[in-house]
Chains A and B, each alone.
Chain A
Amino acid sequence: MSKEQRLQEASEILYQEGLTLDRQNWDDWLSLFTDDCELWIPSWITEHEQITDPQSEISLLYLNGKNYLKERTDRVLKGASPASVPMPRTCHSVSNILIEDFSTDSMQVQSVFRVDYYHHKKCYALFGHYQHQLVQRDGWKIHRKKITLMNDLISEVLDVYLI
């Protein structure tokens, strides 16, 4: 299997992920992840140094298992959290996709993202790098998503649909 083919498959997953979030198709978004997935946004310690261990240092977000992702989307669905009522309109852009490592059933994918969103009549943007670990489980699934968020002083809310 060629690297080019992997690049194509990985791109498809990453674009799908952005699109399902933008369209608020939460079930479709969740179906892209493995049950034992990890979604991690490490925090910054200095200008260019981040934490390395979510068990002993504070993360911006650390969700271990799909249940915790679903907890977030359920909260949005029920409209019970004022922070997501009304939901911001989001636009996920993903580019500069590179396959860093791959085997028959796993690949490590590096990319950059920018999420523009519109909330309460104001425009915001979050940007940084994604590192996805994709694994073969009846098709490619996201096993690990690590997000390096560059603009980390959070405006009011940070959640899975904004990143």
Chain B
Amino acid sequence: MDARVKDQRVIRDFDQYVDERMDEGVFRVHLDTFRDPELFELEMEYIWEKTWIFLGHDAQITEPNDFITTQIGRQPVILQRGDDGQVRAFLNHCTHRGPRLCKTQRGNSARHTCPYHGWMFDSQGKCLSVTDEEAGAYSEAFRSMSHDLHQVVRLENYRGFYFASLSDDVPTLREYLGEATVFIDAWIDQSPNELEWVKGDANFTYDGNWKMVLENCLDLYHAKTLHASFGTAVMNRFKNMGEDERKAINLDDFVNATAQVSYYTFEHGHGALWIHNQSNQEDRPSYAMYQEMEKRVGAKRAEMMLSGKVAEILPSILFVESDTFQMRMISPISDDKTEVYAFCLAPKGEPAEARALRIRQYEDFFSASGLATPDDTSVYRSAQEGDQARVLEWNQGYFRGIEQIQQGPDDKAKEMGFNPTLSIHGSIALQSEAMYIGPYREWLKKMKAGQESAMAKL
């Protein structure tokens, strides 16, 4: 950022945004974190540009020269497999004058030629030609510069999931993901041959803050009310069209409160939830491969693989499995506008019938053309509008389950041998909202650290 702008920056006391008094049973997040455009800019700088951001999956760029375009926060990025087979991340910005070099969502190209003045780059990001360089009367300073595309300083992958960071001051990706990988593994290991990408884009935008979708995906409390019409539709299907009709989420789990749920916070603020003893596991597409899974990974892990579960790797990616599995990549646009890019990843070798069921369930619940997600997106907008009540500073959205927080792992985590920093365990009726505490502590930590390092550079 322009040093002149930074000079004028007001130092913020970020502690004022998170009111944590756990001994008094109070945890609140200031509404300005959702509605202050300046704070949004600081989030981009102190969180999004300073940590690991999900870019894409190996399965999307299988061939040499395959690329996808994406963004880190709002910065345009190319993830490309070079002609040498190695995957790299570049800023999608011609070093000469800045036009984006890849203009499509995905493609395959051995060369990137800038449409403006014709500078040419290869799929490894190397500048092949500066148009008419010889006649250009360039200075020695120019000739000694690298004209190659700017590589994103850190790019690592965890079992095919690529993350990049614009800052070099980050732990390794493996350290950053920490024990949250237990959840990621529970998706990857559903097939002995890992995952494949099911083609077809169904992406959406909503007029609300980026943190709303993060909160919503760990929220079971809203299911019974906001998704009541989804439950009704599913019940009517059974009634009108027979038991076999497109099996979906069993909302009985919420009504009867027979299931148990664990909520977790991991190091670096990652959140997760895991629903135990669900009642309709045989209706889930993953059930088709259950016997093979159980033989390969044991009953306990196979059970976890088949369970409803969510993992959030802060700040950019959600792994959501309510009945089928969806990844949601968050792309923040402004304090009140967000884009969500969705991925359907599925076990390789899944029988065709199970795959078709997976796709129908995916569209049914997750798509913005489905019977559930539009209610979520419209309530995000509605909350954003409600939060314009600027005389109000706080809501009451983080208290539910607060008395049930325990330090370290619950019994389920101990059984599986992983170590969250916080756990909340209870009947599904608990529908906790206190598991946001971990992620907001991390938000506060990152905002403070970001400001400190920005000020140190002045």
List the interface of chain A (C-beta within 8 A of B): 41-47, 51, 54-62, 65, 67, 71, 74-75, 78, 80-84, 120, 152-159
Contact A80 B229 (CB under 8 A): yes
The answer to whether A156 touches B359 (Cβ under 8 A) is no
Is B413 part of the binding interface, using a Cβ–Cβ cutoff of 8 Å? no
Minimum CB–CB distance for A119 against chain B, Å: 9
Docked Cα-Cα span, A65 to B381, in Å, equals 32
The contact of B241 among A61, A67, A153, by CB within 8 Å, is: A67
Knowing A156-B205, A156-B207, A157-B368, the reply to whether A58 touches B363 (Cβ < 8 A) is yes
CB distance from A84 to the nearest CB of B (A): 8
Q: Is the CB–CB distance between B375 and A82 below 8 Å?
A: yes
Cβ–Cβ < 8 Å partners of B382 in chain A: 82
B458 within 8 A of partner (CB): no
Q: Which of these binds chain A: B26-34, B39-47, B231-239?
A: B231-239
Residue pairs across A and B with Cβ atoms less than 8 A apart, 16 shown, are A47-B104, A51-B199, A57-B198, A57-B359, A58-B344, A58-B367, A60-B202, A67-B241, A71-B237, A71-B371, A83-B375, A154-B202, A154-B368, A156-B368, A158-B374, A159-B374
**Contacts A62-B363, A75-B233 given; does A45 touch B374 at CB 8 Å:** no
Whether A43 lies near B202 (C-beta < 8 A) is: yes
Contact residues in A for B226 (Cβ distance below 8 Å): 82
**Given A71-B233, A71-B237, A83-B374, A45:B199 Cβ within 8 A:** yes
Q: Which 6 residue pairs are nearest across A and B when measured between Cβ atoms?
A: A58-B200, A83-B374, A157-B374, A80-B229, A43-B200, A158-B369
Q: Which of A46, A61, A74, A156 has the most CB of B within 10 A?
A: A156
A32 to B352 alpha-carbon distance, docked (Å): 32
Contacts of B202 in A (CB 8 A): 43, 58-60, 154
Given A82-B382, A153-B339, is A56 in contact with B198 using a C-beta cutoff of 8 Å? Answer: yes
Q: Which of B107, B356, B379 contacts A46 (CB 8 A)?
A: B107
Residues A55 and B352 in contact in the complex (CB < 8 Å), given A75-B233, A120-B381: yes
Q: Enumerate chain B residues within 8 angstroms of A54, measured Cβ to Cβ.
A: 359
- Chain B residues contacting A84 (CB-CB under 8 Å) are 374
Residues of B within 8 A of A (CB-CB), count: 43
Chain B residues in 8 Å Cβ range of A156: 204-207, 368, 374, 377-378, 381
B201 touches A154 (CB 8 A): no
Q: Does B362 contact A (CB under 8 A)?
A: yes
- A31 to chain B minimum Cβ distance, whole angstroms, is 18
B240 at the interface (CB under 8 A from A): yes
Which residue on B lies nearest to A83, using beta carbons?
Answer: B374
Residues of chain A with a CB closer than 8 A to B201's CB: 43-45, 58, 152
* Residue B355, interface by CB 8 Å: yes
Q: Chain B, 358-372, contact with A by CB distance < 8 Å: what is the 0/1 string?
A: 011011000111010
Q: How far is the CA of A45 from the CA of B198 in the complex (A)?
A: 10
B201 to chain A, nearest CB (A): 5
Interface string of B370-412 (1 = CB under 8 A from A): 0100110111011000000000000000000000000000000
- Cα distance A60–B229 when bound, in Å? 20
A110 and B54 CA atoms in complex are apart in Å by: 41
Is the Cβ of A154 less than 8 Å from the Cβ of B204?
yes
> Which residue of B is nearest A47, CB measured?
B104
Q: Are A83 and B200 in contact (CB under 8 A)?
A: no
Which residues on A sit within 8 Å (CB–CB) of B106?
45-46
User: Which chain A residue lies CB-closest to B379?
Assistant: A82
B149 CB to nearest A CB, Å: 22
Instruction: Please tell me if B193 contacts chain A, counting CB pairs below 8 Å.
Output: no
**Within 8 Å CB of A65, what residues of B?**
241
- Closest A residue, CB atoms, query B230: A81
Is B257 engaged at the interface, CB distance under 8 Å to the other chain?
no
Q: Are A153 and B381 in contact (CB under 8 A)?
A: no
User: Shortest CB–CB separation between residue B228 and chain A, in angstroms?
Assistant: 6
> Which chain B residues lie closer than 8 Å to A159 at the CB level?
369, 374
Q: Is B203 an interface residue (CB 8 A)?
A: yes
For residue B453, CB closer than 8 A to chain A, the reply is no
- B256 contacts the other chain (Cβ, under 8 Å)? no
Q: How far is the CA of A32 from the CA of B382 in the complex (A)?
A: 35
**B139 on the A face (CB < 8 A):** no
Cβ A158 vs Cβ B368 within 8 A: yes
Task: Check: B8 CB closer than 8 A to any chain A CB.
Answer: no
Question: Which A residues touch B371, using CB under 8 A?
Answer: 71, 75, 81
